[in-house]
A and B are shown apart, each in its own frame.
Chain A
Amino acid sequence: MSVQLENVTIRYGEHLAVDDLTVTFHQGSIGLLGRNGAGKSSVLKALLGLVRPASGKIRFSDLPPDASAAAVRAHVGYMPERDAHLPQATGFEMVSLLGMLSGLPRRDAWRRAHEVLYLVGLEEQRYRPVSGYSAGMRQKAKLASALVHDPSVLFLDEPTNGLDPGGRSEMLELVRQMSQELGKSVVFSTHILQDVEAVCDSAVVLERGKVVAQGNIQELTSGGERELRLRINPVPGPSDSAARVLEALQASWRAEALGDGRFAVWLPEDQCTSSVFAAVRKTSATVRSMQLKRRSLEDVFLTAVRGSGVSS
């Protein structure tokens, strides 16, 4: 199932949380990125029908356009960011009750609660009160609650919050399997970019309620300028060869000296590295080593946020 937002604006009183947002969440796993207050949670709440957009439309591909919030929630699983549990309830009671509130008959909710608790790895702790669970177990219990009614779309709000490295990698593996093996659409909201790189196919970057970058993660990280790291052999003689090399590089590209004969050059996507060799050779210096630095999602994010013109 894909979800489409068209010109969605969300306001909380005077505060503009999301501004004329148009984006489509296709099937697969999508990272919803943004700094704190960028509008990620507001988007998720609007998708769940919890917050009514001031303007714009939200469409779920498998549902009629006028589907009620309750109908939407039957197809959507939500894992909240904050620690949340039912007082006194055990893991099994919490998941089965939430299943019944989603419309499952009691027997099905019970069966299903056992199944999803097993899937997330809580089968041995299911009869213990959730209040006594560790942070990782509580996150898993929330994930099981989001899965209990077999939704086709999962909205996960900061699912790796407060987890230790082991718990984090377990959670990411679960998310990856849900999207790749179970065929669920997963919208993964976070500000931890490595998590998105690890499990998502594509990403949407929000800043102040606007989309500032979106697309397939591979395309995002391979597009734009590439960073080259050069090291040159200095030319013996009275003149400063490093300054001459920098001058030659800066004549064609964005470049900076890193000291000790090392330089960083940002090469446009359509230019090849041989032109850099040629430019260095003209100064009589020789290239000792060259390294092409891969763009990370963090670079994409920072570039998008800085270049958006909406950042503070």
Chain B
Amino acid sequence: MSLAHHYRPLECERVSGFQRIWPLARQEMMALFRTKWGVALYFVCLLPSLGRLVLLLIMLGAVDLGSRSVAGRMPQAMDDMNPHRAAFYFEGSLSTMPGMIFFLLLTSVVVSRCVARDRATNALELYWTRGISPWGYVFGKWLGGFLLTASMTVGMPFLLWITGCLLAEDWSLMTDTFGQFAIGLFGIALMTAVWTAIGTLISAIAPNANLAMVAWSMLLVGSSAAGFVISQSLDESSLRSCLSFWDAGRVVVRSLADLPQRDVSLPGALLMLGSLFGGLLLFARRRMRVVEALQ
């Protein structure tokens, strides 16, 4: 076969910037759905939100179990269970149990492996010899992981809230909760971005995908457990948000949404998140040098 007869010169305008990164993000976002196990995992991760949906249907009387009147008489301490309060819609994404567990399940498979998996198959050499920089590549990977995770942490609360607004007797649920819900949703999106960025940086540092997964899981669960144990033993509850980055994110979101919380330290939480992110970024800078991938 002669190539000259089949080869056509390329005649098209080249795109630049974000348009080059987006295909990478889209590929990363859809990677989970390539296998039936991935699809199953994603739907398992939606279970807490589906549980909340059932609760919402019951509390708002769509499923009549006589609970409609209960929602109106709930004490403030139970706002997390009251669909007339914005906290009801966030809590599924922010709670340690089950929110963090399902977040961990999804991100350990998608986010924490993204760069390390490419390093294992020498794909970095293919990516970085194209028209994107190593940090453009990391950004694309993070964006894909973030969008997938946010579909769970941000998308599901939003759908729940819309459902709640449509099921409520009047528009008062919407008007009463809109402001707090919008800020809270922004906060969750922000924290999802930070958490997935931390996961992506761990993936960029780790020598292989399995180690990245283990490191990410240990950091997420371990810091949360350590924060709980240390704060309990020292009887200093605010320490928890300074030691666990999950709890730190939770404190930030609740502070943004002006939700009531006791014995927490917002500066401590911000410091924790900032120092963890900054530290990982410094390590990742070394590993993301082009020569690292090409040796």
Interface residue ranges, A against B (CB under 8 Å): 12, 41, 45, 48, 50-51, 70, 73-74, 78, 80, 82-89, 93-94, 97-98, 100-106, 108-109, 112, 115, 118-119, 131, 142, 145, 149-150, 174, 177-178, 181-182
Contact = CB atoms under 8 A, between A and B. Distances in A.
A51 B290 contact: yes
A172 to B, nearest CB: 13
Chain B contact surface mostly = helix
A88 B35 CA distance: 10
Nearest to A78: B129
Interface stretch (B7-15, B87-95, B214-222): B7-15
10 contacts: A12-B291, A45-B291, A50-B294, A73-B129, A84-B126, A98-B127, A104-B10, A115-B8, A145-B126, A177-B4
Contact of B3 (A94, A109, A150, A174): A174
A103 B15 contact: yes
A74 B20 CA distance: 12
B110 to A, nearest CB: 12
Nearest to B5: A181
Contact of A85 (B13, B34, B123): B123
B129 A80 contact: yes
Contacts of B121: 83-87, 131
A136 to B, nearest CB: 16
Contacts of A100: 20, 23
A188 to B, nearest CB: 16
B128 A50 contact: yes
A149 B10 contact: yes
Given A73-B131, A103-B131, 9 more contacts: A12-B291, A74-B14, A80-B126, A84-B126, A97-B24, A101-B23, A119-B3, A119-B7, A131-B121
A177 B291 CA distance: 32
B23 A150 contact: no
B131 A74 contact: yes
Interface of B: 2-4, 6-10, 12-16, 19-20, 23-24, 27, 31, 34, 117-118, 120-123, 125-133, 290-291, 294
Contacts of B129: 48, 50, 73, 78, 80
A87 B118 contact: yes
A238 to B, nearest CB: 68
Contacts of B118: 86-87
A108 to B, nearest CB: 4
Contact of A80 (B10, B15, B122): B122
B117 A87 contact: yes
A221 B4 CA distance: 30
Nearest to B133: A70
Residue picked from A70, A131, A145, A149, most chain B C-beta under 10 Å: A70
A169 B126 CA distance: 24
Contacts of B27: 89, 93, 97
Contact of A108 (B3, B12, B24, B132): B12
A182 B123 contact: no
Contacts of B8: 115
